[in-house]
Amino acid sequence: MRATLDFDLATPEAPPEASIEAAVKLLKSGFLFRYAEMGSEGNEAALLEQEFAALLGRKYCIAVNSGGSAIFLALKAAGVMPGDKVLLNAFTLAPVPGAIEHLHAESVLVEINERLVIDPADLRAKAEASGAKYLLMSHMRGHVADMDAVQEICEDLGIKMIEDCAHTMGATWNGKQTGQFGLAGAFSSQSYKQFNTGEGGLIVTDDADLAARAILMSGSYMLYPQHSAAPSEEVFARWKGAAANHSMRMSALVAAILRPQLPLLPARNARWRNIHDRIAARLTHQLIRLPQRPPEEDYTPTSLQFFMEGLSQPQIEAVIADCTAHGVPIKFFGGNTPEGFTSRAPHWEYVKPQPLPRSEAILSQLCDIRLPLGLSNAQADTLADVVLQSLNEALP
């Protein structure tokens, strides 16, 4: 009997009752925009910024309308100008090189290793060869690089690091949270992340100038005194005239939905980790290899990655089609065309082609499964069984 999963893996975690109540209260008030012309004590967005800054142990926080906007604004507020080179790990999602393109800057792609994270040796080599002074460090799919090595390279070469923490809310390297290593960290609250507000983004930083510029550029209409996790007036005075308004604010409604989710993070991450590790442990098969996780990494997975080894691309695609037919849609990073949430450097035609032999070889076998928080243990076991049975069918 073939196993079949009867659960939509794209089911997001619904916001808690407290989010719904806060949203309804705000809707009834009509104050959905985060700024008021007559003061704004108690505005949900300003409160969220205070609470999120505290969660990350950072001085400043800026709430925006998406994770992609958070990355764009963090880079721009860090000083990236058109034509500047920005280092970026080759395994990431399209909005990440998209943010660099939005700045008319140039992506310099860095090889990844078998752990699916940036290769420190290639980072140093590419940084020295290109002279790039910015690194957009994307903790893609929740895999955390050797951040001690990355930070040392950045310090040696005077590189400003911005972290893309869309997949690592709460993850740590050697006990330090992602979002605390770089000059700034960018987060997303799109539905499949640890917090679900549909759309949403957050920037954290300890840098007063970056914070002031990001607040002004996010579109605060000179109402920036209504931000509470923000630098002093004299810092804003330096940037007021120079910062363009990009209208990327977070609405008060999104903030109202997000705030009650913050305290749920540890419990959600523990549940996600349980689902991930349970499936990972069951996926033992001669054609499967899981990326290694070193002890320094405390990961917060919302998806699971594995390599399908010893099969050709058409064979991998046939296994994936069989899994999908049995209720387990698998994303494949080795495909010829970008599909769903899955693409890689050769698909980003706006990025100058760059040789990435190691990353291409690694991604040619990489499979990826979304893990909804609502998956029961029994469903998690069925999911793994579907994959194992499809692989057995593919064995010669």
Ligand X SMILES: Cc1ncc(COP(=O)(O)O)c(C=O)c1O
* Residues making contact with ligand X (CB under 6 A): 66-68, 92-93, 95-96, 138, 140, 164, 166-167, 188, 190, 201
Distance in Å, CB of 66 to ligand X, minimum: 4
Q: Which is nearer to ligand X, 326 or 370 (CB)?
A: 370
Residues 6+ apart with CB under 8 A from 280: 290, 304, 306
Distance in Å, CB of 16 to ligand X, minimum: 20
Q: Which is nearer to ligand X, 140 or 384 (CB)?
A: 140
Residue 261 CA neighbour count, 13 Å, CB half: 22
Q: Which is nearer to ligand X, 166 or 280 (CB)?
A: 166
CA 331 to chain centroid? 17
Residue nearest to ligand X (CB): 67
d(CA 225, CA 231): 9
Burial class (CB in 10 A: 0-12, 13-18, 19+), 182: buried
CA 137 to chain centroid? 10
Residue type, 203: I
Distance in Å, CB of 114 to ligand X, minimum: 19
DSSP labels, 289-335: EPPP--TTEE---SEEEEEE-S--HHHHHHHHHHHHHTT---EETT-
How do 176-177 and 172-173 pair as beta strands?
antiparallel
Closest by CA to 306, choosing from 195, 383, 193, is 383
Distance in Å, CB of 63 to ligand X, minimum: 12
Q: Which is nearer to ligand X, 100 or 243 (CB)?
A: 100
d(CA 74, CA 215): 10
CA angle, corner 302, sides to 300 and 303, nearest 5? 120
- On whether the CB atoms of residues 344 and 363 are closer than 8 A, the answer is yes
Distance in Å, CB of 58 to ligand X, minimum: 19
Distance in Å, CB of 296 to ligand X, minimum: 21
Q: Which is nearer to ligand X, 73 or 154 (CB)?
A: 73
Distance in Å, CB of 322 to ligand X, minimum: 26
CA 353 to chain centroid? 24
Q: Which is nearer to ligand X, 231 or 372 (CB)?
A: 372
Q: Which is nearer to ligand X, 169 or 384 (CB)?
A: 169
State the distance between the two ends of the chain, measured CA to CA, in whole angstroms.
Answer: 20
Q: Which is nearer to ligand X, 9 or 287 (CB)?
A: 9
d(CA 303, CA 314): 24
